[in-house]
Chains A and B, each alone.
Chain A
Amino acid sequence: GESVGLHLPTLSVQEGDNSIINCAYSNSASDYFIWYKQESGKGPQFIIDIRSNMDKRQGQRVTVLLNKTVKHLSLQIAATQPGDSAVYFCAENPNTGNQFYFGTGTSLTVIP
């Protein structure tokens, strides 16, 4: 399978600070990426996606950055809130079909 990894397995941030979660992917042919959020006891939920023809995409309080040169993806959360505490996964689609390959996840803890 594809290798999609995260640099840090855990991250703690103070409420109100910005969070940055990183992800490395291995397949340079991947053309579509998604960030998912998984809260305790729930399935992963879509946060934001980005295609390989873009290097930045913004949503509400979240921004995804894609650096194809070094095969790196990051998720930035502005003004982190306690409700942002969860495990965050990046997923890549290697353009071989409808399959996605997932990273191991980063656990984000927001300190009130």
Chain B
Amino acid sequence: DVKVTQSSRYLVKRTGEKVFLECVQDMDHENMFWYRQDPGLGLRLIYFSYDVKMKEKGDIPEGYSVSREKKERFSLILESASTNQTSMYLCASSRHNSGANVLTFGAGSRLTVL
């Protein structure tokens, strides 16, 4: 069963801490994405990557960075966590330039920043 795996389902961090959210996909997908999901706001794109060592800013990149050292792994980094980064974080992947580039999502990582 192909899937996207987010290693941490629930995290609690303190303001100012550095946070790593890891995402791994086993579908050999070129594209990977990080979204955050907040009530009433839907899914908003933070960063995405079309290839190894490549990254592009999404709609809300401020306060975040990403790393894509291997094709299957896409990490989201909060350099100094703040309370307004408390959210559900969703990783997704897709094939590049395919006829139907459906996003496959992980189960999500719920982050609470105190």
A42-B42 in contact given A34-B102, A98-B50, A99-B58 (Cβ < 8 Å) = no
B97 touches A98 (CB 8 A): yes
In the complex, chain A residues whose CB is within 8 Å of the CB of B31:
98
A103-B100 in contact given A43-B90, A98-B94 (Cβ < 8 Å) = no
Q: How far is the CA of A27 from the CA of B31 in the complex (A)?
A: 23
The one of B90, B97, B102 that contacts A46, using a Cβ cutoff of 8 Å: B102
In the complex, chain B residues whose CB is within 8 Å of the CB of A46:
102-104
Q: How far is the CA of A18 from the CA of B42 in the complex (A)?
A: 25
CB of B78, distance to nearest CB on chain A (Å): 20
Q: How far is the CA of A100 from the CA of B94 in the complex (A)?
A: 11
In the complex, chain B residues whose CB is within 8 Å of the CB of A104:
40-42
Which of B31, B94, B103 has the most chain A CB atoms inside 10 A of its CB?
B103
In the complex, chain A residues whose CB is within 8 Å of the CB of B43:
44, 89, 102
B90 touches A44 (CB 8 A): yes
In the complex, chain A residues whose CB is within 8 Å of the CB of B44:
1, 102
Residue of A nearest to B45 (CB): A99
CB of B35, distance to nearest CB on chain A (Å): 8
A41 within 8 A of B: yes
CB contact list, B26-68 vs A, under 8 A? 31, 33, 35, 40-45, 48, 50, 58-59
A22 within 8 A of B: no
A89-B42 in contact given A43-B4, A43-B90, A43-B107 (Cβ < 8 Å) = yes
The one of B40, B90, B101 that contacts A98, using a Cβ cutoff of 8 Å: B101
The one of A4, A41, A45, A98 that contacts B105, using a Cβ cutoff of 8 Å: A45
B107 touches A41 (CB 8 A): yes
CB of B56, distance to nearest CB on chain A (Å): 9
Q: How far is the CA of A34 from the CA of B103 in the complex (A)?
A: 9
Chain B residues in the interface with A (C-beta under 8 A): 4, 31, 33, 35, 40-45, 48, 50, 58-59, 90, 92, 94, 96-97, 100-108
Q: List 16 A-B contacts (CB under 8 A).
A: A1-B59, A4-B42, A32-B100, A34-B102, A43-B4, A43-B92, A44-B43, A44-B90, A44-B103, A44-B105, A45-B105, A49-B100, A98-B101, A101-B45, A102-B43, A104-B42
